[in-house]
């Protein structure tokens, strides 16, 4: 292939001229060996070079030139033909063989170029999609940080002010106004808690080795509190993931699986597991809900499609199973080789 690449970097006319010159030593060898030994296959070399490096028309032209050159060497070698039409038939067969070689080579080249273009387009699309998701995650991180450092602090200050106001009103023997201030302080504390939960949902994974573990623990606790279910988290094998992008995608997969289990599957118990063995790191979410076959209409929803896409982005394998005892199991396994490759690439 390096040989062909060197030819492709030259002008087409120069490539054709070099291939035509290459016909001369081939014809000389064909003449030397005599008509008893056929050297037709060697004529395919310059035809292949021109058809591959130029285009089909120039390849066919080189095939005709090779056919004429072969006929000249055959005549000079003194090939005796019993009938004159046999000579014409032999020339016709050789020329068609060379033309088919040129057309076939050009077709293979076009197919390869089309395949490379499709692969390049697919890789570009994947890079663009990864960049879009990365931008989205960074924007969510910024919004979450602003919520935590901005609105949360303001609401907390207002809550403290309302509590201080309550104490002042009680000191002035105004119990009705003090109760109102106490209610206001309670509403503000609730607002602070909800805003912090929202900020944690937007920025769930910290940039450290144990970020995913702590984020999944908080996710399980939050699901227990918000959905009124039992959601537990467990880990096996010291599952440390150092790639923050992988951690973020796994967290989003767990988040979507829990939402599906509670909203669609009506699950009462959800178990989130992060398992690391000698082959892979696996995120597993199991619930006791109605099961995916009972909650889906036969078409993949956006949530399921997004989980599968996130798994592909990090080189993982997402599987969704429905055990015979009921419920749904969502498992995403990331091979250690893929995880190590992403770590070194980063």
Predicted confidence at residue 201, as pLDDT, reads 64
Predicted confidence at residue 234, as pLDDT, reads 92
Q: Measured between alpha carbons, how far is residue 141 from residues 196, 310, 341 in Å?
A: 13, 18, 25
C-alpha to C-alpha distance for 56 and 99, rounded to whole angstroms: 10
Predicted confidence at residue 106, as pLDDT, reads 92
C-alpha to C-alpha distance for 14 and 17, rounded to whole angstroms: 5
Nearest CA among 247, 245, 249, 254 for reference residue 222:
254
Predicted confidence at residue 48, as pLDDT, reads 92
Q: In the chain, which stretches have pLDDT less than 70?
A: 1-8, 82, 197, 199-210, 238-239, 293-302, 338-346
If asked whether residues 196 and 329 sit together in one domain, one would say: no
User: For the stretch 277-288, what's the b/e string if a residue is b when 16 or more beta carbons lie within 10 angstroms of its beta carbon?
Assistant: eeebbbbbbbbb
Q: Given 151, 182, 201, which residue is the final one in a domain?
A: 201
Question: Could you tell me the CATH number of the domain that includes residue 292?
Answer: 3.30.565.10
Please tell me the total count of domains within the chain.
Answer: 3
If asked whether residues 224 and 330 sit together in one domain, one would say: yes
- Residue 193's domain comprises 135-201
If asked whether residues 165 and 208 sit together in one domain, one would say: no
Predicted confidence at residue 233, as pLDDT, reads 93
Q: Given 143, 168, 201, which residue is the final one in a domain?
A: 201
If asked whether residues 59 and 149 sit together in one domain, one would say: no
If asked whether residues 216 and 152 sit together in one domain, one would say: no
If asked whether residues 163 and 221 sit together in one domain, one would say: no
pTM over 0.75: no
If asked whether residues 221 and 99 sit together in one domain, one would say: no
Q: Given 126, 161, 184, which residue is the final one in a domain?
A: 126
Predicted confidence at residue 338, as pLDDT, reads 60
* Residue 84: CB atoms within 10 Å: 8
If asked whether residues 155 and 102 sit together in one domain, one would say: no
Sign of CA dihedral 203, 212, 257, 231: negative
pLDDT tens across 236-248, in order? 876 677 777 788 8
**102 with 60: CB under 8 angstroms?**
yes
Which residues make Cβ contacts (< 8 Å) with residue 95, sequence separation at least 6? Answer: 63, 64, 67
- If residue 115 lies in a helix (H) or strand (E), which one and from where to where? helix 84-146
If asked whether residues 237 and 120 sit together in one domain, one would say: no
If asked whether residues 9 and 86 sit together in one domain, one would say: yes
Which residues make Cβ contacts (< 8 Å) with residue 274, sequence separation at least 6? Answer: 212, 213, 216, 233, 234, 235, 236, 239, 281, 282, 283, 284
């Amino acid at each position: 292939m390096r040989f062909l690449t060197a030819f492709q970097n030259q002008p087409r006319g120069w490539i054709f001229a070099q291939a035509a010159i290459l016909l001369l030593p081939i014809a000389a060898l064909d003449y030397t060996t005599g008509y008893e030994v056929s050297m037709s296959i060697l004529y395919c070399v310059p035809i292949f070079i021109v058809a591959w490096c130029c285009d089909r028309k120039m390849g066919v032209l080189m095939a005709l030139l090779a056919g004429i050159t072969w006929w000249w060497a055959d005549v000079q070698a003194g090939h005796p033909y019993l009938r004159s039409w046999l000579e014409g038939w032999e020339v016709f067969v050789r020329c068609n063989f060379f033309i088919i070689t040129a057309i076939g080579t050009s077709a293979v080249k076009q197919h390869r170029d089309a395949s490379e273009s499709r692969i390049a387009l697919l890789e570009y699309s994947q890079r663009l999609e990864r960049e879009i998701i990365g931008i989205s995650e960074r924007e969510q991180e910024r919004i979450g940080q602003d919520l935590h450092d901005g609105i949360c602090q303001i609401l907390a200050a207002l809550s403290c002010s309302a509590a201080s106001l309550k104490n002042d009103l009680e000191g002035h023997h105004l119990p009705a106004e003090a109760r109102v201030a106490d209610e206001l302080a309670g509403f503000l504390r609730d607002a602070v808690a909800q805003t912090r939960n929202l900020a944690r949902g937007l920025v769930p994974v910290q940039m450290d080795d144990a970020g995913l573990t702590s984020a999944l623990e908080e996710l399980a606790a939050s699901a227990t509190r918000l959905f009124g279910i039992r959601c537990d988290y467990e880990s096996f094998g010291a599952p440390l993931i150092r790639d923050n992008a992988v951690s973020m995608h796994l967290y989003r997969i767990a988040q979507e699986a829990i939402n599906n289990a509670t909203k669609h599957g009506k699950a009462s118990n959800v178990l989130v597991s992060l398992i690391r063995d000698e082959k892979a790191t696996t995120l597993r979410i199991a619930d006791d809900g109605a099961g995916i076959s009972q909650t889906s209409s036969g078409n993949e929803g956006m949530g399921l499609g997004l989980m599968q896409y996130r798994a592909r982005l990090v080189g993982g394998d997402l599987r969704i199973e429905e055990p015979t005892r009921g419920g749904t199991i969502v498992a995403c396994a990331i091979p250690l080789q893929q995880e190590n490759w992403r770590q070194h690439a980063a």
